[in-house]
Structure 1
Amino acid sequence: MSLREDLQQVARHSQRLWLALLGIVPLLYLLSGFYSIGAEQRGILTRFGKLVDDKIAPGMHYRLPWPIESVEKLQVTAVRSMELDFAQDANASHVQLELTTGDENLINVALILQYNIQEAGIFQHQAAEPEQLLRQIAQAESIQYVASQNIGDLLTTGRNQFQSGLQQAIQQQTRALNLGINVTSVQIRRLEPPQSIKQVFDDVAVARAEKQEKIQVEQGERSSTLAKARSDANRQQQQAQAYASELLARASGDRDRLLSTWEEYRQAPALTGQRMYLEMLEQVMPKARVTLATPSTGRQAEGNE
């Protein structure tokens, strides 16, 4: 075989190889459009940089190959946390170290903000740094809320209201700015006066606790005294009612007996008078003392008859 024939054969093999490559490359290019979305993810589909769909569900999907269409995968179901510690963030974010309350006291605040992504496409494309913007919103709303409250309320009965009120205010701002974020909760990690005046507030808290304890003791004694007085009043009332019932029964019996005697006397005056005389003697004579004197001896004898 001559050299020319060898070159022709190599050219034919090369031509077949290039034809095969020209068939395989487009196929691989088209197959590159298949992609999968995880269970906790949502896909964001863009076409030439324009948002097409931001709610692609988990599973296998197909898109037009790059650079026509592209897909971003974003964790949306997992709850994210953000810590806001004003004492640590003071220098980095130029916020005040201690917040000022409505009654012009200082207080240290540290919060934990929990949130998730509600609308993936808006979260990814509405703002350049949505989570940083969320932090700034939370800081501003915290400063504003604390400035409207008294320190005593914040440290005692107003803690739950602080958390719920701040969560609502932050959520309202994120919706107004259309960040695609859902704020699920705001939890207080630290809410206390500065160390320089903390002892004073601790003393106030102890005094308040002692006051509450004394009030509870006094209320307990008051309740016990009222219960005893109520019991004594009920007993005396029952005794009075029983005595009154006894007097009424006795008076009723005397009245009936008197009416019966009068009726008998009216029908037979002599006989009834004699009977009444004898009955009176029966009552009087057992109590009478009779003295007998004997003339012969002059001695006296006493006895009952």
Structure 2
Amino acid sequence: MSLLDDFRFISRKYKKFFVTLLVIVVPSLYLLSGFYSVGQEQRAIVTQMGKIVEDKVMPGMHYRLPWPFESVQKISSTSLRSIAIDFSEETEKYIQPELTTGDGDLVNVALEVQYSVSEPGAYYNASLQPEVLLKKIAISETIYYVGSNDVESLLTTGRTRFQNYIKNAIQTHTYRFQLGVRITSIQIKRLEPPPSIKKGFDNVATARSEKQKFIQEAKGERSTRLAQARSEANKTKLEAQAYAKSLTEKALGDHERFLALLEAYKASPSLTAQRQYVNTLEEVLNEVQLSVIKAD
């Protein structure tokens, strides 16, 4: 008996089994292939002949029509994604490694765009390469903002404004292009002068710091001297007031004594004159040193 005869014998013997397998088991397996699961950090998109019929299938077990009628695309939507942009490493010919600021200086820029997928259907359907498009938008807005601002504000007080502008500008473009993403943050990894001119910028920053230091020291010295001057002025004023008061009181006393003397003189001129003469001699003699010499 040949091999072909063996096959014919088996097929005749198990014909019912094979028919049952083809009619029941194979279709059952085909229908069971429509079950699928979605993870906790995922959202699923169901397409029917290429058309999206459901774009936010939540985590858990679900069913869709088996291939080729419907297919499932799973997207990680809750996890945070990021795109790194370093202009010194970009290979595009139209992008220079050092960006030009509004006042003609050069800066070295590297940043990271963090985002999440908020609308899986739009993210899946808007572009073949949504991340590439998102990166090009971020590059374009960064070049525009750096070229519109001077280098001093970018390197000092303008970093926060820079981050906020890039975040809002990218988000606006994603809404317009319906990319289905939400920009969570922009992190500036590097924003500094190129190595060739960094020393000059460091000297400028040092000079600015020294200038502020000298200004603060001068203000402190000024405050100290003003306090000393106010103290001396108050002291001089108090001394003058005390001296003026003493002179006034002395003058009032002399005036009262003169009036009393005048009244006494009017009452007894000769006696008063003699008393004044004696008082004057006493005052003069108290100031005079007398020497008594015995005559031979």
Partner of 2:249: 253
**RMSD across aligned C-alpha pairs, in angstroms?**
3.8
Task: Give the AA of the match of 2:174.
Answer: T
**Deviates most, 270-279 or 232-241:** 270-279
Partner of 1:123: 123
Q: How does 1:217-228 map to 2 (within 5 A)?
A: 217-228=213-224
> Using the alignment, how far apart are the partners of 2:102 and 2:282 within structure 1?
97
Does the 8 Å contact 1:44/1:121 carry over to 2?
yes
> Using the alignment, how far apart are the partners of 1:107 and 1:230 within structure 2?
45
- Per the TM alignment, residue 212 of structure 1 is displaced from its structure 2 partner at its CA by 2.0
Secondary structure of the 1:245 match is helix
> Using the alignment, how far apart are the partners of 2:19 and 2:33 within structure 1?
21
Does the 8 Å contact 2:130/2:179 carry over to 1?
yes
Secondary structure of the 1:291 match is coil
CA shift digits 1:211-241 (9 cap, x unpaired): 2244234324422431342133112211221
> Using the alignment, how far apart are the partners of 1:216 and 1:194 within structure 2?
26
**Structure 1 residues 32 and 256, CA gap change in structure 2 (3 angstroms):** farther
**Deviates most, 73-82 or 27-36:** 27-36
Structure 2 residue 142 is the aligned partner of structure 1 residue 146: no
Q: TM-score, normalised by structure 1?
A: 0.72
**Deviates most, 156-165 or 136-145:** 156-165
Does the 8 Å contact 2:193/2:201 carry over to 1?
no
> Using the alignment, how far apart are the partners of 1:151 and 1:243 within structure 2?
59
Q: Please, which runs of 5 or more residues in structure 2 have no aligned partner?
A: 1-11
> Using the alignment, how far apart are the partners of 1:279 and 1:21 within structure 2?
156
**Structure 1 residues 75 and 274, CA gap change in structure 2 (3 angstroms):** farther
Q: How does 1:1-305 map to 2 (within 5 A)?
A: 33-58=34-59, 60-67=60-67, 69-90=70-91, 93-98=92-97, 99-192=99-192, 198=196, 201-262=197-258, 264-265=260-261, 268-269=264-265, 273=272, 277=276, 283-294=283-294, 297-298=295-296
> Using the alignment, how far apart are the partners of 2:80 and 2:250 within structure 1?
91
**Structure 1 residues 214 and 49, CA gap change in structure 2 (3 angstroms):** closer
> Using the alignment, how far apart are the partners of 1:264 and 1:26 within structure 2?
144
**Structure 1 residues 191 and 235, CA gap change in structure 2 (3 angstroms):** closer
**Deviates most, 156-165 or 129-138:** 156-165
Q: TM-score, normalised by structure 2?
A: 0.74
Does the 8 Å contact 1:29/1:65 carry over to 2?
no
- Per the TM alignment, residue 77 of structure 1 is displaced from its structure 2 partner at its CA by 1.9
How many residue pairs were aligned? 280
Task: Give the AA of the match of 1:95.
Answer: Y
Secondary structure of the 2:89 match is helix
**Structure 1 residues 266 and 17, CA gap change in structure 2 (3 angstroms):** farther
**Deviates most, 151-160 or 203-212:** 151-160
Task: Give the AA of the match of 1:184.
Answer: T
Secondary structure of the 2:149 match is coil
> Using the alignment, how far apart are the partners of 1:53 and 1:166 within structure 2?
32
CA shift digits 1:283-304 (9 cap, x unpaired): 544323233343xx43xxxxxx
> Using the alignment, how far apart are the partners of 2:283 and 2:117 within structure 1?
107
Q: Please, which runs of 5 or more residues in structure 1 have no aligned partner?
A: 1-9, 299-305
> Using the alignment, how far apart are the partners of 2:227 and 2:275 within structure 1?
48
- Per the TM alignment, residue 53 of structure 1 is displaced from its structure 2 partner at its CA by 3.7
- Per the TM alignment, residue 183 of structure 1 is displaced from its structure 2 partner at its CA by 2.1
> Using the alignment, how far apart are the partners of 2:182 and 2:274 within structure 1?
107
- Per the TM alignment, residue 122 of structure 1 is displaced from its structure 2 partner at its CA by 0.7
**Structure 1 residues 256 and 102, CA gap change in structure 2 (3 angstroms):** closer
> Using the alignment, how far apart are the partners of 1:107 and 1:49 within structure 2?
46
Does the 8 Å contact 2:31/2:66 carry over to 1?
no
> Using the alignment, how far apart are the partners of 1:247 and 1:142 within structure 2?
75
Task: Give the AA of the match of 2:203.
Answer: A
